[in-house]
Amino acid sequence: MLNSSIPLAERMRPTTFADFVGQEHLVAPDAVLRKMIESRKLSSFILWGPPGVGKTTLARIIAQDLERTFYSLSAVSSGVKDVRDVIHSSRSNKMFQKNRPILFIDEIHRFSKSQQDALLGAVEDGTIVLIGATTENPSFEVIAPLLSRCQVFVLKSLSVNDLNTLFERVLKKDEYIRSLDIQVKETEALFRLSGGDARKLLNIIEIVISSYDEGEPIVFNNEEVQKRLQKNIVLYDKNGEQHYDIISAFIKSIRGSDPNGAVYWMARMIAAGEDPLFIARRMVILASEDIGLANPNAFLMANACFDAVHKIGMPEGRIPLSQTAIYLATSPKSNSAYMAIDTALELVRERGDLSVPLHLRNAPTQLMKELGYAKDYKYAHQYEQNFVEQEFLPSEISGTRFYTPGNNPRENEISKFLERWKGKYDKG
């Protein structure tokens, strides 16, 4: 039914910051990335975020705004030669000496070490400005020397308000869609199925519209969107659109102590060609977040699993993956460590940089000693059971509890150990 040969996602691709939807923390007038662009002092950086949130679009807008030559490579189809060709072209063209070209590399996490090494010199000497885009944590996937030369900007899934803004813009600005008889009654299913992904939203809109006969009124409500999307499920899933739903089901199965659910969802990911290291990384995170101190060995096993999968690859890697998933699912659960650090971070945000008590400060100089640094500090090992009660927090938050042991055998022992504080941290 759609007459245009250009996909809706391309027709609606923004070309200016004014048209860009979402990522206000980066592109709003006072945001850090926007300020860097407006200063015309562009340095290399990496855009990290889920699919369909505007990484490629943002890179193109930046290049256009700064009037820079824009080279685009995909890590899926490009090799070292392609990278070197771009670098050679940039170095040999004198017009680039002032306005360095931008090299955009999509899915930079798929570049091998040698491919990333090829970028180092050009990034370091300023021949190019590198903008990398990745859906994976750059700390794991980008070599340290390259990562140290790049800022990392985190992009977020689009909010419901962002998706609504984009939907309304489609209805008002796309010439072809404006010509159709469209009735919008409900949007909850449309936005829920989009999952914070702008490209996915536009694809769903296109699929729903194309499912109607010519001249037939097009209705957007929850029932119609779900029904018509179901009929076009092959189109909908052709690029692995269920990625985030399935990993969510996998994590929640382990958290819920169901090894059968965990193994099933893992099998779905493996069968679909998911990166096994992605699965392993998520289990490392879960081992700390959801098991933590209830079974500290879980973290060691998850980390060992990551190393094993990295070493042996697939298909054999499926075995330690399965073993680890079952072990984690059948382990006692505690999120006490996760809650402790998040509670502490929230207090830091609220109270700012509170002063370190003098007795906890180091005193490497005589002046510091005279100022009272380290005075009255009690060295725990000089006391019975290597413990002595003293203050380890700023006076303003004395007695504030961040860590509350979970109710499991291991942390019940920790609770008994912490009774030596005689109620100091009972105020919560």
Picking from 100, 135, 154, the residue at the C-terminal end of a domain is 154
Distance CA 312, CA 10 (A): 40
Question: 149: helix, coil or strand?
Answer: coil
And the tokens for 264?
């099933």
Per-residue pLDDT averaged across 85-91, rounded? 83
pLDDT bracket for residue 98 (50, 70, 90):
low
- Element housing 219 (H / E): strand 218-220
Same domain, yes or no: 58 and 140: yes
For the ranges 208-212, 368-372, 399-403, the maximum mean pLDDT occurs at 399-403
- Is the domain of 148 the same as that of 204? no
- In this structure, the answer to whether residues 376 and 412 fall within a common structural domain is yes
Confidence band of 234 (pLDDT split at 50, 70, 90): very low
For residue 161, is pLDDT > 60?
Answer: yes
pLDDT (tens digit per residue) in 102-149: 899 988 887 877 788 888 888 888 888 899 998 888 887 888 888 888
End position of a domain, from candidates 154, 180, 199:
154
- CA distance to 43, 59, 70, 107, 114, per residue, from 143 (Å): 18, 21, 23, 14, 10
Helix axes 160-173, 198-210, angle to 10 degrees: 50
Residue 193, domain member (yes or no): yes
Mean pLDDT in residue range 217-228 = 85
Question: If you average pLDDT over every residue of the chain, what do you get?
Answer: 85
Residue 18 maps to a domain: no
Does the pLDDT at position 287 exceed 90? yes
| Domain CATH code at residue 195 | 1.10.8
Eight-class DSSP state of 424: T
Angle at 139 between CA 241 and CA 194, to 5 degrees: 20
Q: What is the pLDDT of residue 2?
A: 47
The least confident of 193-197, 258-262, 295-299, 327-331 is 193-197
Distance CA 311, CA 280 (A): 12
Output the six-digit token pair for 22.
């979402």
Look at residue 6 and tell me if it is in a domain: no
Q: Of 370, 334, 253, 3, nearest to 11 (Cα)?
A: 3
Same domain assignment for residues 127 and 41: yes
**Token pair belonging to 180:** 């159709």
What are the Cα distances from residue 189, in Å, to 125, 172, 221, 280?
50, 21, 8, 32
Residue ranges making up the domain that contains 253? 243-329
Q: Considering Cα of 161, then 167, then 168, then 169, what sign does the dihedral take?
A: positive
